Homo-oligomer: A and B are copies of this chain.
Amino acid sequence: MFESAEIGHFIDKETYDQEVPALREALLEAQYDLQQQKRCAVIVLINGIEGAGKGETVKLLNEWMDPRRIEVRTFDRQTDEELAHPPAWRYWRQLPAKGRMGVFFGNWYSQMLQGRVHGVFKNAVLDQAINGAERLEKMLSDEGALIFKFWFHLSKKQMKARLNALKDDPLHSWRISPLDWQQSQTYDKFVRYGERVIRRTSRDYAPWNIVEGVDPHYRSLTVGKILLEGMQAVLNSPKPRARASNFPPLPDIVDGLSLLDCLDLNKQLEKDDYQEQLITEQARLSGLMRDKRMRRHALITVFEGNDAAGKGGSIRRVAAALDPRQYNIVPIAAPSEDERAQPYLWRFWRQIPARGKFTIFDRSWYGRVLVERVEGFCTQADWMRAYGEINDFEEQLRDAGVIVVKFWLAIDKQTQLERFQAREEIPFKRFKITEEDWRNREKWELYRSAVCDMVDRTSTEIAPWTLVEANDKRWARVKVLRTINEALEAAFEKQDKRNKKSKK
């Protein structure tokens, strides 16, 4: 795999000087066109052998192209803030928007390689990391990103020569790599596991390019031309990247019986019982959120439901139990321009709570498989793949200690009608009812099957859905609070058990 990057590629200065001006101009133009058309985000991953010219190349790209549209990101040690979030969070928050280029130095590949080379884990775990990288890149690509992966290579001999040369160069001596690169065992391992990673993650939508790093002219021209051809290929392709799906739609339920039918929507609480139970559950939540064990967790609640099902009221009862510094309520409406320039999960990743914190989503990433599906804002292929992407997303949250509690607040059609009418009559509630609500109501059945598919495909042991009978608001509010409390307690107990085990 690395053979042809050890044969001494070389471009003489004259040829180089001749070729560069045209290449620069073309790169600038492509960059400009991509930005004007907001066609896609360009993600450039920089990996490879120490001393093979990674830094120099990135520096040059910034000279050749318009650096205002390039974001160079280095990912070295995780910051405190990053450590308090799921591992992928640091990458999500640095994703370039459509029309821009992000150069990722020290990305997910460096992390997995370093872990494996230094024996932090074995191949099976490396393979899990590889799998995660594949899913991430597939999703980014499906969302329209153009991904370039460069491996800058040196043979072992070349690397040693290069590190020696740098040592004696006062301009570069600060760049001397960590000691371990000078050990030939590290090189061997790095190349061996590097090959495994490259082999498994070189896919048509995000292939690796292995670049011999010895000769700067060769290296620079190679990278420049690959970037140029890639960007031009996108610019010359018909827009948008059509992905006709001929996979069958999700099947209807043949006996028409859905989970929603099994709910007894008439469950209710008397006023006195409600008052008592509400206060009990709120006190319990307040205590749990202050529990020491919460420091190793974060909490996310997702509120979805029919229009007028009482999401707002439930959220207020949850919030009322807590210190405002502990939680953050995120209402989700149609995406902003900035958000539309990113993969759809991006705006949720930004709102992931740090450890110890609590985020309440009033509507959520499930918009993709609900409103976007029903209204045709995305293609069938898009919402079909979203189930898997969302499960991946929530699994990453869970792995990082985030407790995810998801509610669907269900009311029947008649109750909705009464609430809509009441809203129109009560002046201070009038802002809560719009034409759109009435239109959505006409699509009741479509939403209904979207909800059933959503629950079927995303209610997992990691993040189960709770269906809440919400014709009676009191019942719903208490059930919401109680479910959150039970989820917290279950997570804490699991943690206690794990601690006990590891103490043994």
Contact = CB atoms under 8 A, between A and B. Distances in A.
A460 B199 contact: yes
Nearest to A202: B388
A234 B248 CA distance: 8
Contact of A248 (B233, B245, B461): B233
A292 interface: no
A455 B2 CA distance: 9
B233 A241 contact: no
Contacts of A1: 456-461
Interface string A241-263: 11011111111111101110110
A210 B241 contact: no
Interface residues of A, number: 73
A203 B245 CA distance: 12
B259 A7 contact: yes
Nearest to A387: B202
A132 B455 CA distance: 27
A446 to B, nearest CB: 17
A203 B233 contact: no
Interface stretch (A50-58, A121-129, A280-288): A121-129
Copies of this chain, tallied across the complex: 2
Contacts of A338: none
A257 B9 contact: yes
Interface string A199-217: 1101111010110000000
A131 B460 CA distance: 19
Given A222-B254, A229-B251, A249-B233, A385 B456 contact: no
B457 A255 contact: no
Contacts of A218: 254-255
B237 A246 contact: yes
Interface string A146-171: 00000000000000000000000000
Contacts of A452: 4
B229 A247 contact: no
Given A205-B247, A385-B203, A3 B255 contact: no
A73 B334 CA distance: 49
A251 B225 CA distance: 8
A195 interface: yes
Interface string A442-468: 000000000010011111111001000
Contacts of A259: 3-4, 7
13 contacts: A1-B456, A1-B459, A3-B459, A3-B465, A4-B456, A124-B125, A124-B128, A199-B388, A202-B387, A205-B247, A225-B252, A226-B251, A237-B244
Contact of A247 (B124, B233, B395, B462): B233
A10 interface: yes
A460 B208 CA distance: 14
A255 B127 contact: no
A241 B125 CA distance: 36
Given A1-B456, A207-B387, A225-B252, 4 more contacts: A9-B253, A124-B127, A226-B251, A230-B248
A391 interface: yes
A120 interface: no
A233 B221 contact: no
Contacts of A204: 245, 247, 381, 384-385, 388
A199 B254 CA distance: 23
B251 A460 contact: no
A11 interface: yes
A192 interface: yes
A124 B126 CA distance: 9
A404 to B, nearest CB: 14
A391 B4 contact: no
Contacts of A3: 259, 455-456, 459, 465
Interface centre among A11, A221, A254, A262 (most CB of B within 10 A): A254
Contact of A221 (B131, B221, B254): B254
Given A131-B131, A210-B456, A241-B246, A225 B202 contact: no
Interface string A100-139: 0000000000000000000000001101100100000000
